[in-house]
Amino acid sequence: MQSSGNSVPLGATAGAGGVNFSVYSRDATGIDLLLFDAAGDPKPSHIIPLDPANRTYHYWHVFLSGVQPGQIYGYRVHGPLDPGRGLRFDATKVLLDPYGRGVVMPEHYSRVAASQPGDNTATTMKSVVVDPSAYEWEGDAPLKRPSARTIIYEMHVRGFTRHPSSRVAITKRGTYAGLIEKIPYLQELGVTAVELLPVFQFDPQDSPPGKINYWGYAPISFFAPHQAYSSRQDALGPVDEFRDMVKALHRAGIEIILDVVFNHTAEGDHRGPTLSFRGLDNHTYYILEEERSRYANYTGTGNTLNANHPVVRRMIVDSLRYWVQEMHVDGFRFDLASVLTRDASGRVLPDPPVLWDIESDPALAGTKLIAEAWDAAGLYQVGSFIGDSWKEWNGRFRDDVRSYFRSEEGSLARFADRFVGSPEVYGHKQREPEQSVNFVACHDGFTLNDLVSYNNKHNEANDEGNRDGADDNRSWNCGVEGPTDDPEIEQLRNRQVKNFLAVTLLSIGVPMILMGDEVRRTQGGNNNAYCHDNELNWFDWTLVAKHADVHRFVTLLNERRLLRSVEHERQRLSLAQLIQQANKSWHGVKRGQPDWSHESRSVALQVDMKQERAVVYLILNAYWKPLDFELPHLSSGGPWRRWIDTGLQSPLDIVPWHTAAPNSGATYRAQARSVVVLLAGLKETSA
């Protein structure tokens, strides 16, 4: 039995006695709602034409009594196929609901069939009716941890536990449930947030022939968790298993940040498949070229979402609200966020409506918002991204820290600026010190191990002639390309990895480390491993024992970072105010004489930590020889104490903060390419 239903809310909404379906299409001439018994059914069990007489404005809707959560459905949309006018209706294709909360994928899913003429009912993804209220959260809520006390761990759901060495049950490897089993590892490591590579339902076949889209930057449903990451086979399994994971992470004190892709979809360019948006309202959802049959490509993936169109804007904000309110996530990292500043013609807007909608939405208040502030068309907005609450991936931190530790001339001053929060980039905005998300490695590029093991990318396995991936890696192989048995080179590489980790976790800003960098995970020199679902990308858990010294180093750094007093968080100081008020001074090998010349590769920084009644003396030596640094005099005559020295072997490379060993003498020898941190009581230092 059916009735006219309502235009709101969009999507499939379970209620008393049935489900209300509502979908947007401005130019469709007719829409059929299709119900299925199974994901791979070649024909629907029921076809419900949506009566145009019940259409409200551009919203087509119907209420079906007796339909329950778990029902599989899709749409068939009729209308003109006229690419020259931007219209791409194709009634032979079954379409996903843009607001569908769940997705099922048939065993024989085919992206090719969705790209070619003809019916693809049996081989396409379909939506699932979900009742978000049918879950027991047991009092769970987003944690709202202050950014000043946040340490981010960027990770891949599948890659984290897929390797046989994970010792996760076979049926749970590579799933949300598998990640739950490894939460104790994350707790021990000391991270406070996991940033998951895309978990919105994506098209795994959006990749070169014979490859797979492993990273997940090919979204096709902005409300549904990726079905393949669930260990459960039922239609509602991914939704509940994802929430089980969120709840378990929160119980462990760990936030969950989603890497979200609102800049493009898996439907690709004019040759791509018709899966959802293209067949519903092509010129609403996408930015089209002046030749309306072609898609603007500011993303490098074939199409660009028309993010500032009112309908698309609403969908993006509704999606974010859903993941916060119904799925309890703590934040979002926006892939190629600068795309969201473009209008329907691709021009950059000074005040993009979608970004202000996100920023000002009360349901998203307190949610972490992180922008990758650039796009594939050359727009680079690091330091100038719109809004008051957005954090930014600081690509300049990555580049300048890499340059410094491979001993580039002229890199010292830029490196020093990045270490103290990048005031050159952010100081003008009067924003909090944590606006900068500091990282040296992320999913896109070399791992830390490969950064110190390869001068050149080695992407041959991607079958693109090694042309893909970045050429500017600012890496240094320490003398040999790739793996080596030379103990001196291996020791240097280990030290360089610790240098990168130390600077990331000691600098001002929000630190982020890449999954496996704490145990020197390698991708064999591949800096664009997006298409490999194999051991090239999976976390090899045998490395935890093999590189236990690096793991210990990171664990103690994280422990200290979380124990420190963050007075500026309470006072709400901006980065500029914090630096102005800080009692700090720069030095060189001679106290009070920092060398900022083009050739200099070393510097020291003294900082008073008044709340902790301690002073820190940080020595950074990227020179290829040891250097002796004069130390400030201590009025008490007592010694400085050594907390960190990456030039020493474990366990002397780092010790628990309160057990720092005394150092005798008026100087300290910093080994070649090393980081040293010395401590003293605040009252012990002379002026």
Name the residues annotated as catalytic. Answer: 335, 372
Residue that the structure tokens 């240098």 belong to: 499
Q: Which residues are paired to 195 by β-bridges?
A: 154, 257
Residues with Cβ < 8 Å from 100, sequence gap 6 or more? 11, 12, 127, 128, 221, 223, 224
Token pair for residue 524? 């064999």
From the centroid of its chain, how far is CA 440? 14
Token pair for residue 405? 């530790």
Token pair for residue 433? 């010190």
In angstroms, the Cα distances linking 627 to 194, 404, 604, 639, 662 are: 38, 16, 11, 20, 19
Q: Which of 457, 455, 476, 456 is nearest to 405 (CA)?
A: 476
Cβ–Cβ < 8 Å for 452, 406: no
Q: How far apart are the first and last CA of the chain?
A: 85
Q: CA neighbours within 13 Å on the CB side: how many for 607? A: 19
Token pair for residue 492? 């240097």
Q: Which of 310, 375, 294 is nearest to 341 (CA)?
A: 375
Residue that the structure tokens 């060495």 belong to: 165
CA angle 390, 391, 393 (to 5 degrees): 135
CB atoms within 10 A of CB 289: 14
Q: d(Cα 277, Cα 284) in Å, to the nearest integer?
A: 9
Q: d(Cα 20, Cα 215) in Å, to the nearest integer?
A: 34
Q: Omega into 639 within 30° of 0, i.e. cis? A: no
Token pair for residue 339? 């795309």
Give the phi and the psi of residue 412 in degrees, each rounded to 5. Answer: -65, -50
Q: Which of 194, 603, 630, 687 is nearest to 419 (CA)?
A: 603
From the centroid of its chain, how far is CA 169? 27
Q: Which residues are paired to 594 by β-bridges?
A: none
Strand order in the sheet with 584-587: 584-587, 602-609, 614-621, 674-681, 640-645, 661-663
In angstroms, the Cα distances linking 621 to 264, 448, 624 are: 43, 19, 8
Q: d(Cα 410, Cα 400) in Å, to the nearest integer?
A: 10
Q: d(Cα 157, Cα 42) in Å, to the nearest integer?
A: 32
Cβ–Cβ < 8 Å for 567, 554: no
Q: d(Cα 425, Cα 236) in Å, to the nearest integer?
A: 46
Q: d(Cα 680, Cα 10) in Å, to the nearest integer?
A: 61
Residue that the structure tokens 């010792």 belong to: 167
